[in-house]
Structure 1
Amino acid sequence: MRRRKLFGGLAALFLAVTTVVTVAAQPAQAAAGFTVSGGRILDANGNNFVMRGVNHAHTWYADKLGSLADIKALGANTVRVVLSSGDRWTRNDAANVTTVINTCKANKLICVLEVHDTTGYGEDSAATTLAKAVDYWISIKSALAGQERYVILNIGNEPYGNTNAAAWTADTKSAITRLRAAGFEHSIMVDAPNWGQDWQFVMRDNAASVFAADPQRNTIFSIHMYGVFDTAAEITDYLGRFRTAGLPIVVGEFGHNHSDGNPDEDTILATAQAQGIGYLGWSWSGNGGGVEYLDLVTNFNAAALTSWGERLFNGANGIKATSREASVYGGTTPPTDPTSPSTPPPSPTTPPPAGKQCTATYAMTGSWGSGFQGAVTVTAGSAAISSWTVTWTWPSGQQFTNTWNATVTSSGSAITARSLNYNGSLPAGGGTSWGFTASSTGTNTAPTATCSAA
């Protein structure tokens, strides 16, 4: 990885720019709100929740809280709200935070609250510590108590720069322990060091021990993807390690371009969708200091989407196509954990009802060394279907290393993938996808996939 100074997604005129150990993640203890189980985020109703949203720089634009209605109208289910502890910018007190939460709830948005004053600690002399961020959360606990169904606490934004980033592990464990001791039952989100981009892999390699340090096992990891993540291999490898380890990961910030390099936003979006990982684009509006191109809309005008806004909201794997409202607001229940029992396939002795057909489209979405990632899109024919089965034979000796959103079995080179209980039922012309990572040697010839439906 390139060793360079990385400023991840820091907004507004106030800023200059603004190997995971595999663990069997234990189900979270009973809690009043969000929990974590098997690497997935569950809402207070026990339903899978995948964040699809944006960041909003509230602390610098306190008069723009009405933007949350616009964010919701464009399809988001989550907003990450920038707050200040008062150590660097004007403090958002308990009354103000209550207003933010109530506005999120009024617009049926899940509210991720973050303290921005920690950004780049150790490298930026103006930044404050995670310990001070915890002091802030404790001081406004009255605004947060009872809001666990709607609020996730992101302790501190990008809490270390590139200096002494190794200290992130101990400081993060201490911060989580203090919040739990103070009685916080919220899901806690922690940002990576290296200005959020973790190019030294401190968070990646210590995530399991940080997760275990939370007595509620209710910690979510957040990676910020800017110039470090400019290739598909870097994106799929980083996110894939957390998924394989059963640890919850979200892309808490990312953009389509940045001063430290050109992120591969298409792979970020495609991989997040294929693996059921949340993402929050940076940012709604108000960026300055040379990164104005990260605005999703111009001058807080929802009718003036920028090219980045068009891509994030309306593009492939974007918010409009993939977001589902949290079930605590009455939204449709999103997919559950892909390890859930699958819908039994139809009996091989009973032909499927006439007219029920499907097609399967195989695509390779990324590659690295001897490994690659793929996605299979299943599309129903002219009639609705209740389940599907995809089969193929690997032509070049490929082998799966991980799969999701389907129950996959192998017999030699013969592959069978069956729908799960949440993605087998498709309307006429409707589609879904499942994904995988695999290894290959020599020529990686694509197989011919066939689909049958019932």
Structure 2
Amino acid sequence: MALAAAAAGAVVAVTLTAGTADAGTGTGYLHTSGNKIVDSTGATVRLTGINWFGMETDNHTFHGLWAGRPATWTQQIDHMAQLGFNTIRVPYTGDSLRAGATATSVNTDTNPELVGLSPLQILDKVVNYAGSKGMRIILDRHRPTAAGQTPLWYTAAASEASEIADWQSLASRYANNPTVIGADLFNEPHADGTDPNGTGSCWGCGDTTKDWRLAAERIGNAVLQTNSNWLIFVEGVSCDGNGGSPNVYDNIPDDPMACDWWGGNLSKAGTYPVRLNVANRLVYSAHDYGISVYDRQPWFKDPNFPNNLPDVWDHFWGYLYKQNIAPVLVGEFGSTLQNPLDTQWLTKLMQYMGQGTNGISFTYWSWNPDSGDTGGIVSDDWNTVNQAKMNIIGPYLNPPVGGGGPTSQGPTSPSPSRSVSTSPSPSRSASSSPPPANGACSATYEVTSSWPGSPGGFQTTVTVKAGTSAISKWTIKWTFANGQTITQLWNGTLTTSGSAVTVTNTAYNGTIPANGSTSFGFTGTWTGTNAVPTLTCTA
């Protein structure tokens, strides 16, 4: 999370194969070519992901693991993938990597397989399950310690050497697992806005104690010594530190383009680039936020707002992409959207980053609803989707292609010492509508989880596939025969009449290319038997 610079069809169950998915997030390890991220075959990959935080806090693991159904840890990853997010950026602190670190606030009734596991062992599970969905993982050194964010990448309690050791440990741990694609070296280095002498991080100032560009080279090259396959993500600073003091709390007018969001200022990276010993591994990462986070950024007051924003982004980081210098990933951006101007900001930013394969990669902040300044994609139940946000973000997502777990499962987590009684894994039941013809569509209904009760509960994914011609809208219909009731549906518009169910596309997932697919999901209740209905699909 950032502070302002001045303020501080038919798709069946997934078949697992070696390597990550052959589309969506690409195949094998990733590297760079000009301003693009490419896979092992040279195909362009665009990361359109989400931040899931918590491992950087004193919980030492993902927030939301305290939630119940339908938001178990696997269901949350399923939900991210169903919405179209193909990457998870995972903030962490070195404290969570230490021997004896304990993960807290885990609902052991709904996540029994996590009982007794260390933070790293839980991370292993998330990595491997996300990989099975065709997703990628970016690890983010979010804080030196769980105590909080700092202007510099090191503190008296957490040295640069300790940061390098932590990164090398993680690089070694996931060296044979291409689901984990790289290291976001340090989150939001920034100037100390209370100090007119310009302490805190700078870019290109040459002082090894505060020049983040030089530190990124030292840390990044150390990581690549351990795992040369990783991408190295390097964030900007807030104020570059060259040619004067940073913006501070005083009565002297500041240059409106001297400082950006924490981590957002890469304006000097063209002149002072990060130099890595392994070619084609550098990705620059910027952060950007809306008015709900900090309303005094000068560009928000411009009478030409929001049409002035592309020039702002060009200045701070967009030029790196537009001039083919290096790829850019916007690692954090978000808003509550409570201010109508933020809707304009987010809409303009999504347009700027672009659609399809050729565009700037991003990871939205955040999945979590407990981000105080921005809220999340899901609400406090960790399941209900904020549709206003998804209506803007959804059209720009490149969904992961299911399947393709890692070539290695990574370190094997020992069984927890505490024994746990669990219910048998539910069998996955599915039915399909007829195969799609030219200009038509088909659909598959798959019960992905089910649990007993009075009534019982279940979660279902419905996948819609186009035939040999693209479609621009779709409608799925079925009739429940055993008293099932839908309680929550996402990625579709629901209409019911008794037991008859109709689901139509949303504004962002109606268009499906030839032989392509999309999906929606829902949770529901059942009594008696949870029979699988017969679906019809019209386009």
TM range (shorter): 0.5 to 0.7
Q: Give the % identical residues.
A: 18
- The C-alpha deviation readout for 1:390-447, integer Å capped at 9, x for no partner, is xxxxxxxxxxxxxxxxxxxxxxxxxxxxxxxxxxxx979x9xxxxxxxxxxxxxxxxx
Structure 1 residues 357-381: Cα deviation after superposition (integer angstroms, max 9, x where no partner): xxxxxxxxxxxxxxxxxxxxxxxxx
Counterpart pick for 2:390 among 306, 310, 313: 313
* Distance in 2 of aligned mates of 1:319 and 1:212: 35
Q: In the alignment, what sits opposite 2:318?
A: 240
Offset of residue 130 of structure 1: 5.2
1:177 has 2:257 as partner: no
Q: How far apart, CA to CA, are the structure 2 residues paired with 1:100 and 1:208?
A: 39
Alpha carbons of 1:86 and 1:42: their partners in 2 closer, same or farther (altered >3 Å)? same
Post-superposition shift, 1:182? 2.7
2:93 is equivalent to residue 84 of structure 1: yes
1:325 maps onto 2:400 in alignment: yes
For the pair shown, the structure with the greater C-alpha radius of gyration is 2
1:68 to 69, 72, 77: 77
Contact 1:272 1:278 in 2 (8 A): yes
Give how far 1:200 is off.
Answer: 9.5
CA offsets, 1:148-187, max 9 Å, x none? 3542221222234544321211111111111122344211
Are residue 203 (structure 1) and residue 266 (structure 2) matched?
A: yes
Which of the pair is proportionally richer in helix?
1
Matching of residue 116 in structure 1 with residue 179 in structure 2: no
Greater RCO between the two (CA within 8 Å, min separation 6)? 2
Counterpart pick for 2:51 among 52, 55, 72: 55
C-alpha contact 1:121 1:127 (8 A) present in aligned 2: no
| Gaps in structure 2 of 5+ consecutive residues | 9-26, 66-71, 103-117, 193-198, 203-210, 240-258, 301-305, 406-468, 471-511, 517-539
* Match for residue 216 of structure 1 among 279, 285, 291: 279
Gaps of 5+ in 1: 7-30, 331-382, 385-425, 431-454
Flag the 1:294–1:212 CA change in 2: closer, same or farther, 3 A.
same
Cα distance in 2 for partners of 1:238, 1:160 equals: 14
Q: Which amino acid aligns with 1:111?
A: I
Change (3 A) 1:197 1:45: farther
The answer on 1:37 being equivalent to 2:45 is no
TM-score normalised by length of structure 2: 0.49
CA spacing shift, 1:294–1:245, aligned 2, 3 Å: same
Q: Give SS of 1:205's match.
A: coil
Give the corresponding residue for 1:419: none
1:280 aligns to 2:363 (yes or no) = yes
Partners of 2:28 and 2:270 lie apart in 1 by 24
SS of 1:5's equivalent?
coil
Q: 2:375 aligns with which of 294, 299, 302?
A: 294
8 Å contact 1:45–1:327 — kept in the other structure?
Answer: no
Partners in 2 of 1:82 and 1:200 — Cα distance? 14
**1:158 aligned to 2:160?**
no
How far the C-alpha of 1:72 sits from its partner, in A, is: 0.8
Distance 2:277 2:271 in 1: 10
Name the counterpart of 1:255. 334
Q: 1:65 to 1:201 in 2, by over 3 A?
A: closer
Query: How many residues end up aligned between the 2 structures?
Result: 303
Aligned-residue CA RMSD (Å): 3.9
In the TM superposition, residue 214 of structure 1 has moved relative to its aligned partner by 3.9
Amino acid at match of 1:169: R
Q: Spell out, residue by residue over 1:312-367, the C-alpha distance to the aligned partner (whole angstroms, 9 max, x if none).
A: 4232xx2355414369949xxxxxxxxxxxxxxxxxxxxxxxxxxxxxxxxxxxxx
Q: Label 1:71 to 1:88 Cα distance change in 2 as closer, same or farther (>3 A).
A: same
Amino acid of the residue matched to residue 240 of structure 1? G
Cα distance, 1:200–1:191 mapped onto 2, change above 3 Å: closer
CA displacement 1:98-150 (0-9 Å, x = unmatched) = 22210211222111111222433349979855543322121234421112354
Equivalent-residue separation in structure 2 for 1:130 and 1:328 (angstroms)? 38
What is the identity, as a one-letter code, of the residue corresponding to 1:222? S
What TM-score, normalized to structure 1?
Answer: 0.57
Note the 1:356-435 alignment, pairs <5 A. none
Change (3 A) 1:240 1:320: closer
User: How far apart are the structure 2 equivalents of 1:108 and 1:250?
Assistant: 19
| Aligned match for 1:189, one of 233, 236, 239 | 233
